[in-house]
């Protein structure tokens, strides 16, 4: 992704940079796979001209890039709702199957705790999303995904402890989120 001012000068600069890059490294940028998205305040004829200069197609604003919204609004719950839905849909497919506790542990670690990894490295997760993901994980672990509610023999916090401390080593998503965000600094 390249962000720039909407001007002919900047479009020509992008074109020159891509040509210099291609000459220096021998790699060609595929403009047929690239697109241009401009602000709603840019006149349409200017946008078409910019796309022509750079040699790409003009599109409306991209809704998603790497499964995250390209433009983040003030409503963060809308931003993260797709993460919860993806986790729920992945675990829902396994709810009727007889899975050992080891299998459940692997599924939770592979699905619930890996799906949000990219977004947790970019954004601070909302506490209600973290609570919902922990709730989904706990219900799956104890075997009560659908309407049936089974007894939870231990808190999720205890299950998140390391195996040496009597837990199962599940990630606490809040702590994991803070650790990934701190790597940016």
Show pLDDT as tens, one digit a residue, over the chain (185 residues).
777 888 899 989 988 998 898 889 888 888 877 888 888 888 889 989 999 998 888 877 766 666 666 666 666 776 778 788 888 888 887 776 778 888 888 888 888 878 888 878 888 888 898 898 888 888 888 776 556 666 667 788 888 888 898 888 888 888 888 998 898 76
Contacts of 176 (CB under 8 A, 6+ apart): 113, 120
Q: Where are the domains of the chain?
A: 8-62, 65-182
What is the spatial distance between Cα 134 and Cα 177, in angstroms, rounded to a whole number? 13
State pTM to two decimals: 0.61
């Amino acid at each position: 992704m390249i962000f720039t001012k909407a001007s002919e000068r900047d479009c020509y600069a992008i074109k020159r940079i891509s040509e210099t890059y291609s000459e220096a490294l021998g790699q060609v940028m595929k403009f047929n796979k690239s697109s241009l998205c401009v602000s709603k305040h840019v006149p349409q004829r200017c946008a078409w001209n910019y796309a022509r200069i750079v040699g790409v197609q003009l599109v409306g604003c991209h809704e998603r890039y790497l499964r995250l919204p390209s433009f983040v609004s003030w409503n963060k719950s809308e931003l993260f709702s797709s993460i919860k839905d993806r986790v729920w849909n992945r675990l829902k497919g396994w709810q009727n199957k007889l899975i050992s506790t080891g299998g459940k542990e692997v599924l939770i670690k592979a699905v619930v705790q890996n799906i949000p990894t990219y977004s947790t490295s970019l954004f601070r997760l909302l506490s209600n999303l973290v609570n919902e993901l922990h709730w989904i994980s706990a219900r799956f672990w104890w075997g009560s995904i659908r309407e049936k509610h089974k007894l939870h023999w231990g808190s999720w916090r205890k299950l998140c402890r390391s195996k040496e401390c009597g837990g199962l080593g599940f990630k606490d998503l809040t702590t994991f989120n803070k650790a990934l965000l701190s790597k940016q600094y």
